[in-house]
Amino acid sequence: MSALVLDGLVAGRRSRTGAGFRLPPLDMTASPGEVIALIGPNGAGKTTLLKTLAGLIPPLAGRIDGPASAAYLPPPGAVSAAFSALHLTALGRAGLRRWSPGLTPDDVEAARAALSRLDVLDLADRPFDRLSSGQQQLVLIARMFVQAAPVCLLDEPLAMLDPAHAQAVEAAVRPLAAEGRIVLASTHHLPFAARADRILAIGPDWIEVKTPAYALGADRIRALFGVETTGCPCCGQTPGFRP
């Protein structure tokens, strides 16, 4: 799998008057197997950047080179589907095989394996729309496993989750990368960001990609959120760092 190379990428939103939202230029190379956490205050531009990387919003300037396809996981509650969890997971394979009027045995097998891997095979026959937010997140991450996308973009995967589901979702993220994918995940949960390989922080007029130890230092947290803390401004938990 190849690296994701951002060369002077400017993500933003155009407005009719031309004065839309615009992030500073971003230069970054992400390697296969890397987990990068996106942090920044509300409205900083995390979703805008992820959607730009997913090809859902055109860049305002610069280049995105590397893998041709990316899978985008929207924030919890954003996906509505009347299919079963198994069906929705299996549909992740739609781009990988010839057109078929229904699911093939291979689709079903791949979906069952992915759901089982995330310990949610018991949800297979449940309608996706009737699952809780945390259950839906796990199913959508299972779909990422069958999608085989080299870049996985997760928009606040831990939002609205209780500690147990947050732990389960976080535990599912690292294996996505361990299979050689590049994972970018936005979050307001700094202990989760602390366990990433690198942190992409979006400030008021700056953007930087640093180690967790640097990005979560008191100075950078103050610059980013305007709060005095060495722990997570949301939960007070002290971030831990990967060795």
Ligand X SMILES: Nc1ncnc2c1ncn2[C@@H]1O[C@H](COP(=O)(O)OP(=O)(O)OP(=O)(O)O)[C@@H](O)[C@H]1O
Q: Which residue from 13, 117, 210, 220 is in contact with ligand X, where contact means CB under 6 A? A: 13
Q: Judge whether 144 and 172 are in contact, CB under 8 Å.
A: no
Q: Judge whether 5 and 66 are in contact, CB under 8 Å.
A: yes
Q: Binding of ligand X at residue 187 (CB under 6 A)?
A: no
β 182-186/35-39 pair status: parallel
Q: How many chain residues are in contact with ligand X, going by CB under 6 A?
A: 10
Q: Binding of ligand X at residue 17 (CB under 6 A)?
A: no
Residue whose CB is less far from ligand X, 48 or 137: 48
Q: How far is the CB of 13 from ligand X (least distance, A)?
A: 4
Q: Binding of ligand X at residue 21 (CB under 6 A)?
A: yes
Q: How far is the CB of 44 from ligand X (least distance, A)?
A: 4
Q: Binding of ligand X at residue 22 (CB under 6 A)?
A: no
Binding-residue pattern over the window 154 to 183 for ligand X, x denoting contact by CB under 6 A? ------------------------------
Residue whose CB is less far from ligand X, 26 or 124: 26
Q: How far is the CB of 158 from ligand X (least distance, A)?
A: 12
The Cβ-side half-sphere exposure at 4, using a 13 Å CA radius, reads 25
Residue whose CB is less far from ligand X, 10 or 113: 10
Three-state secondary structure along 138-178?
HHHHHHHHHHCCCEEEECCCCCCCCHHHHHHHHHHHHHHHH
Question: Residue 223 has what DSSP assignment?
Answer: H
Give the span between the Cα atoms of 1 and 149, in whole angstroms: 10
Site for ligand X, residues 27 to 66, rule: CB under 6 A: 40, 42-48
Cα separations in angstroms, 157 against 7, 24, 94, 206: 26, 25, 23, 24
Q: How far is the CB of 46 from ligand X (least distance, A)?
A: 4
Residue-wise DSSP of 206-217: -EEEE-HHHHTS
Q: Binding of ligand X at residue 92 (CB under 6 A)?
A: no
Contacting positions for ligand X (CB under 6 A): 13, 21, 40, 42-48
